[in-house]
């Protein structure tokens, strides 16, 4: 009689732990989360006062408060209505989904950079932006992304922004 029970328990344990021991996907592949959206993915903060918590729930302490809309964050995990995010400075924590927007933004990193009329270093420069400037991310193709900052549109080298995955392309 013990053998069928042990066998049944073995199958239950295998089913429980199978996702944890399953082979991982390639580095650029995206997993689909419980919300049905891919993880990792970039989104932005939609509220002026957004509390970043150390865990997925209001019972967890606030670690940081974002005081600006439009800050791009990378969603790395989901738990119910909570999203684990990472920002440009490497700060990570949990934000409630009501504090977030699907609107794509990006922040300029490093030093002052040139934005070009088209995606290419030889294209005419249309404007420059300093590190920390945030704009709407409109498209990415190849090594270039198109951003709109204060009504001006230009293309920037993808490596000079935080807001797009390395091989991500969209229009």
pLDDT in tens, 124-163: 999 999 999 999 999 999 999 999 999 999 999 999 999 9
pLDDT at 8: 34
Pick the CATH number of 106-162 from 3.30.450.20, 2.30.30.40, 1.20.210.10, 3.30.70.60: 2.30.30.40
Residue 36 phi/psi, 5° resolution? 90, 0
- Whether pLDDT at 89 is above 80: yes
User: What is the tens place of the pLDDT at every residue in 93-105?
Assistant: 999 999 999 999 9
Q: Is the pLDDT of residue 10 over 80?
A: no
What is the mean predicted confidence (pLDDT) over 94-123? Answer: 97
Pick the CATH number of 26-103 from 2.40.50.140, 3.40.50.300, 2.30.30.40, 1.10.238.10: 2.30.30.40
pLDDT attached to residue 32: 77
pLDDT of the residue at 115:
98
What is residue 31's predicted lDDT score, i.e. its pLDDT? 78
Residues of the chain with CATH 2.30.30.40: 26-103, 106-162
pLDDT value at position 34? Answer: 79
Q: What is the pLDDT of residues 11-40, one digit of tens each?
A: 333 333 333 333 333 344 567 777 899 999
Q: What's the Cα-to-Cα distance from 112 to each of 115, 128, 138, 152, rounded to whole Å?
A: 10, 7, 20, 16
What tens digit of pLDDT does each residue of 30-88 get? 677 778 999 999 999 999 999 999 999 999 999 999 999 999 999 999 999 999 999 99
Neighbours of 164 (CB within 10 A): 22
Please say if the pLDDT value at position 106 is more than 90: yes
């Amino acid at each position: 009689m013990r053998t069928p029970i042990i066998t049944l328990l073995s199958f239950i344990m295998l089913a429980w732990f199978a996702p944890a021991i399953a082979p991982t996907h390639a580095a650029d592949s995206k997993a689909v989360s419980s919300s049905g959206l891919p993880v990792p993915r970039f989104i932005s903060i939609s509220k002026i006062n957004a509390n970043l918590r150390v865990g997925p729930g209001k019972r967890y302490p606030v670690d940081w408060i974002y005081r600006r809309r439009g800050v791009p964050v990378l969603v790395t995990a989901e738990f119910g209505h909570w999203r684990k995010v990472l920002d440009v400075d490497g700060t990570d924590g949990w934000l409630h989904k009501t504090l977030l927007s699907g609107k794509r933004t990006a922040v300029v990193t490093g030093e002052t950079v040139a934005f070009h009329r088209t995606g290419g270093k030889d294209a005419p420069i249309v404007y420059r932006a300093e590190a920390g400037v945030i704009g709407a991310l409109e498209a990415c193709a190849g090594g270039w992304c198109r951003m709109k900052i204060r009504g001006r549109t230009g293309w920037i080298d993808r490596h000079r922004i935080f807001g797009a995955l390395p091989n991500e392309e969209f229009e």
